[in-house]
């Protein structure tokens, strides 16, 4: 049985994370949830296993925000796997799976960048760390990532900067953005508050329709952009695109 690994720092899962994990289980995977909480309870499935996150990385006392901790933890996870060399799949808990994912090759998920406007990016696609699938043979120097020095932009840790730098030399590892990010972050408000996407094109990017997302063979999951939803304080409507995705999966 193939296992998906994730990290959850808080005491209990939020509703979105529970729905996403249920979507992984629905596709036939076991799930290892690593947590720093001593009160975390499993009311979801016998195929969900609670693990001690400190076995991978012990940060001492924990305080918000958790983004930095999550970056360090997952890179330590894959550093450890360089010794064990097992097929290891890490997934953020705001990835909703629509179908089984590729599991016989090394890859990372990616996203489109803005192609117009003041924040236009030279690269059309950049890797992200929402989904990582490696077997320990990947040519990534996790020590260099974890020991890197220097400043980074506020929205991006120094670890991610080094990670992206290394992946730029390994383009074959980067999956197409549509595989796990078929909804660009620019449409996050539509995702939760609209029945359909209000605009088809934005930032020089063409947005898939919901029908395409559900029917395209190489779209495996949907990154739900939880941090953006929370940061923008976006409310949800009962007939939203998000709820239509959940209804499609019968979650």
Per-residue model confidence (pLDDT) at position 38 = 82
Structure tokens at 94: 């705001």
Range of the domain at 191: 3-249
Residue 203, phi-psi category: left (phi > 0), alpha (psi -120 to 50), beta (remainder)? left
Per-residue model confidence (pLDDT) at position 246 = 98
Mean pLDDT, each 10-residue run in order, the chain (251 residues): 92 92 97 90 91 91 69 94 96 97 96 82 89 97 86 66 90 96 96 96 92 96 96 95 98 95
User: What CATH number did the domain enclosing 220 receive?
Assistant: 3.90.550
As a whole number of angstroms, the distance between CA 39 and CA 51 comes to: 12
At 14-67, the pLDDT tens digits run 999 999 999 999 999 999 999 988 888 888 999 999 999 999 998 877 665 566
Residue from 134, 133, 131 nearest 178 by CA: 131
Per-residue model confidence (pLDDT) at position 138 = 96
Domain count, the chain: 1
């Amino acid at each position: 049985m193939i296992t998906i690994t994730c990290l959850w720092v808080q005491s209990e899962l939020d509703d979105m994370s529970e729905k996403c994990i249920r979507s992984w289980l629905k596709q036939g995977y076991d799930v290892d949830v690593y947590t720093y909480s001593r009160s975390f309870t499993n009311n979801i499935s016998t195929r969900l296993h609670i693990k001690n996150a400190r076995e991978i990385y012990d940060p001492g006392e924990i305080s918000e925000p958790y983004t930095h901790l999550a970056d360090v933890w997952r890179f330590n996870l894959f550093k450890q796997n360089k010794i064990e060399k097992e097929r290891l799949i890490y997934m953020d808990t705001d990835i909703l799976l629509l179908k089984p994912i590729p599991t016989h090759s090394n890859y990372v998920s990616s996203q489109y960048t803005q192609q117009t406007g003041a924040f236009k990016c030279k690269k059309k696609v950049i890797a992200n760390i929402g989904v990582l699938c490696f077997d320990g043979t990947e040519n990534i120097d996790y020590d260099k990532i974890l020991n890197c020095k220097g400043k980074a932009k506020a929205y991006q840790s120094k670890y991610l900067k080094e990670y992206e730098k290394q992946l730029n030399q390994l383009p074959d590892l980067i999956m197409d953005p549509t595989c796990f990010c078929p909804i660009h972050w620019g449409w996050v408000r539509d995702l939760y508050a609209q029945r359909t996407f209000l605009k088809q094109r934005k930032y020089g990017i063409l947005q898939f329709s919901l029908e395409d997302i559900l029917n395209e063979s190489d779209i495996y999951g949907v990154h739900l952009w939880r941090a953006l939803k929370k940061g923008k304080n976006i409310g949800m409507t009962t007939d939203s695109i998000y709820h239509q995705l959940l209804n499609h999966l019968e979650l």
